[in-house]
Structures are given as C-alpha cells and as structure tokens.
Amino acid sequence: MIRIHHLENSRSQRILWLLEELALPYEVVRYERDPETMLAPDALRTIHPLGKSPVLEEDGIIVAETGAIIEYIIETHGGGRLKPRAGTAEARAWTYWMHYAEGSAMLPLLLKLIFQRMPQNANPLMRPLVKGVSSRAEAGFVDPRIREHVEYWESALAETGWFAGADFTAADIIMSFPLEAAADRAGAGAYRNISDFLQRVHARPAYAAALERGGPYAYA
C-alpha cells in the first residue's frame, strides 16, 4: 500500500488530494511542525536525508518532491486518468505546469513569506530597521514578481478554467498551492479566474476528503 509521510500545513496535502481523486488506498504518517521554528521534525530525516515532506513509500520505493510523486502516482496507478493523452498540446501544457508550480511559481511566494517574517524574528531594537529593509525588498522586487505570475495565471485560466486543457487534471492539483498561497498573501483572490478556479477545486469531494485525512492545512 502507498504510504505518505505528510507534514501538517504543507504542500504535501496535494498528494493526499490526488490519491483521493484516484480512489487509491493509502496510509498517512503525520508529522507536526516545531511550534517555534515551524520546521519539520527531525523524524522525517529517517525517511529522506533532507527531512522534507511529502515523501511516498511503496514496496520499498521512496519518492520525494511533490511533482515527482505526482508523476509516479499517475504513471503507476493513474490508468490514464488526470493526465492528457500523450503527444497532445494539452500533455505538453501538463508537463510544463508540473515543473513550473514548484519552480518558478513558488520562489517569489517564499521570498514574500521570508520578508514578512523577518521583523517578527528580529531583535526588538533592530525591528524598525529590519522592517524598513524587508518592506522595501517586498515593494521593489518581490511584489512585482508575484504580480507577474498572478496575471499569468489569470490569463492561462481564461480559456477553459483549467491549466492543461478542458478537463481537470493533476496539473490543477499541483498548481492549487501557489494560487492558494498567493490568494492569501498577495491578493490573487481578487482576480476572477483565479477565484473561480479555487472555488471549483475546494468544492471537489476529493479535496474535502483529503483534508479529513491530512488534518490542519493553513497554506498561508
């Protein structure tokens, strides 16, 4: 059986969602973040050297990284589901979004989170200075980059409402987290196509079932 090493409030929630969409049996091994550092516990390092989540285990196979796990599940258990037919424009788009989601999309969102938290973690005497530096970095570099991506998503969703053709696919699952994070941190929810996309995926029964299995999911 598939076993997912799942960290609370993390991107690994998407793997549980994919498994629910495919109606596959699986086991969840849950881990909680350190309440002070918000980092994953060291116990995850016994599964994978980097100590990150998600990690998939099946019959002695270990797969890490969200995109790689999704591709493994689709190739091994998908039976042609949630991926466009090979050789089509939709299939090429699917591959693109699978890599883009954890590559280009997440970097500016991660920088946004880091700069927002910098003043909180600074020495109280230095906090005003740190806040000024972080605010300038956000306004001058991070926010414009996020806006570029948000407008890109809004345009990409305009034709069908999905990322890889006319149907819901695993590309929409992996892209959900950047859109959720940007809706919370950067106002992306004000864009109509992005808002509609998030409403549709959040209404899917498999999404709700994954939340029940995975526990707390604060993507902000």
pLDDT tens digits, one per residue of 3-20: 999 998 888 999 999 999
pLDDT of residue 164: 98
Total structural domains within the chain:
2
Choice between 121 and 220, residue whose per-residue pLDDT is larger: 121
Residues 73 and 177 in one domain: no
Domain co-membership, 70 together with 117? no
Residue with tokens 């806006």: 147
pLDDT band at 219 (very low <50, low <70, confident <90, very high): low
Clarify whether residues 8 and 43 are in a common domain.
yes
49 Cβ partners below 8 Å, 6+ apart?
none
Same structural domain, 67 and 166: no
Q: What is the pLDDT of residues 171-196, one digit of tens each?
A: 999 999 999 999 988 899 999 999 99
**CATH code of the domain in which 38 resides:** 3.40.30.10
pLDDT 10s digits, 142-170: 999 999 999 999 999 999 999 999 999 99
pLDDT score, position 24: 98
Nearest partner of 193 among 152, 145, 165, judged by Cα = 152
**Residue found under tokens 């699986």:** 26
Within a 10 A sphere around the Cβ of 183, how many other Cβ atoms?
20
Query: How far apart, in Å, do the first and last CA atoms of the chain sit?
Result: 31
Task: Please give the share of the chain, as a percent, with pLDDT higher than 90.
Answer: 75
In a domain, 219, yes or no: no
Average pLDDT across the chain, whole number? 93
Domain that holds residue 167: 89-204
pTM of the model: 0.93
pLDDT of residue 147: 96
Dihedral of the CA atoms 133, 137, 139, 145 (nearest 10)?
-170
In a domain, 183, yes or no: yes
The pLDDT of residue 34 is 83
What is the model's pLDDT at position 220?
44
